[in-house]
Structure 1
Amino acid sequence: MALTLSIPDEFYNELYIGIQKVYVKATEKAREDTILLKTYLSINEITSYYLDVTRPTIMAWVKKGLPTYEIEGKRYIKRSELDEFIERHKK
């Protein structure tokens, strides 16, 4: 035996929007969590998910000695070396 339930359109729309927001937040959180598991990060990953810094800041750190790895024209930074670089520059 099936139960049929009628939901007003306004409630359905609000529910749909709410579920959509939860999905977007969960997806963003999953991306952030994945970044923490990666050994090598692109500069975009660093600036978007790992640190609250800009690309020019990362490039300035590279000029100050932060090592990078280039593969097929894309630059990566080892997460542990980035963390060590930041730690060495604490005041």
Structure 2
Amino acid sequence: MNLKPLGDRLVIKKIEAQEKTKSGIVLPNSAQEQPQISEILALGDGITSDDKKKDTIKVGDKVIASKFSGTEVKLDGEEYTIIKLNDVLAIVE
């Protein structure tokens, strides 16, 4: 991936939702919920150069972001979302 966010933005990729329920029922794509958890793939310079921000969040973290935030981008057949750091609601541990 050659996508480098600027300022206090970051690049995330949604983690695929489960295709089966706990009881083993396979769900079609239309019945699946959109994934809410994403993985951080890249951080902008505004985050990496700020001591407080860079200690809070890093590449590889799994996060929950606002549902309708960011800009969706397709690059090399993959879908990514570029969001502002303020749109991150929580880090999943």
TM-score by length of 2: 0.30
* Bigger Rg, structure 1 or 2: 1
Q: More helix per residue: 1 or 2?
A: 1
Q: More strand per residue: 1 or 2?
A: 2
**Larger RCO (CA under 8 A, 6+ residues apart):** 2
